Amino acid sequence: MSLPVMNPPNIQLLIQGITVLSIEEAAKSCQLGIVNLAHTEGHGMIITVVKATFDSAQGPSYELLAVMDRNTIKGDMTLDLRGSAGGSGIAFYRGSSFSRLGTGNDPHDFRWVLNVQDEIYLKEHLNISKDFRSIIKINNINDATFYVPSNGVSTNQLNKTVQGQTSTVGPVAVKIGANFPLSADASFFNGTEELPLPKPNTNDVTYLISVAQSRPGMPMMGVNDTRLYERVIDGSGTSLGSISFSAQSMQAMVPHMFSPPDAACFPPSVTQPLN
């Protein structure tokens, strides 16, 4: 499967940082939980909606439609795509083969996104708490593709410790992208008001929606962001026992000014609803 090129997509979603993604293929919908970090310093929470217009002669122009942060988000949100019936639903970009600890993987392969339910806890159902600042539900999804954007795989390894034994999970996606075409007008409801996203008459307009909750710059020495997921994802009752994550330290870590954040700050996925 090749990475589909929309020229451009009507809506492009970018997810980064301490969030949890749940995709319901049969229902053609997904949920993005923004982990509650009210008592945790260092992680910026921001959602932006930008209208990008592409002109072949003058280049792109951008209009900022909305900015939301941890102080202005008022409860759960909804991105209503209002798609027509039919379509192929949700697709995941996958390369010809994939091995998290191997070589030659496609950098856009969705399998870089760590599915903690299937890959870590090996459990059909997890105890997911309600410790979310907000849950964004995206519904009426048709002909959408989820993938890992460029520069979206961690520069180091993620480890797990089970019953005192540590092993390497491998690199993980630190960004998730999704492209959505529009067959009708869409809207983004931010909990208090509705932001219309009218369907463009031509393919020269894209709505760019960014959801980010990550630590900017280089990771702080001695800070393990992965512990934050334990407040939301509880794998207790599994035969594996207690599980904890950590990011493998690197002696010569390159400054992250121009590279993705390390594996401690990543958006994992689960296969069950968040609420």
C-alpha neighbours within 13 Å on the C-beta side of residue 237 = 8
Longest CA span, the chain: 61
> 16 — phi, psi (to 5°)?
-140, 145
The pLDDT value given to residue 218: 52
pTM of this structure: 0.88
DSSP per position, 176-244: EEEEE--SS-EEEE-SS-EEEEPPPSSTTEEEEEEEEEE--SSPPTT--GGGGGGGTEE-TTSTT--EE
- What 8-state DSSP symbol labels residue 94? -
Collapsing DSSP to helix, strand or coil, 28 comes out as coil
Q: What pLDDT shows up at residue 41?
A: 58
Q: Are strands 186-189 and 194-197 parallel, antiparallel or unpaired?
A: antiparallel
Residues of the chain with pLDDT under 70: 1-8, 38-42, 83-87, 216-225, 235-244, 247-262
> What is the residue whose two structure tokens read 């996203």?
197
pLDDT tens-digit profile of 141-195?
888 899 999 889 988 888 887 777 888 888 999 999 999 888 888 999 988 889 9
Please write the tens of the pLDDT for every residue from 248-263: 654 334 444 444 556 7
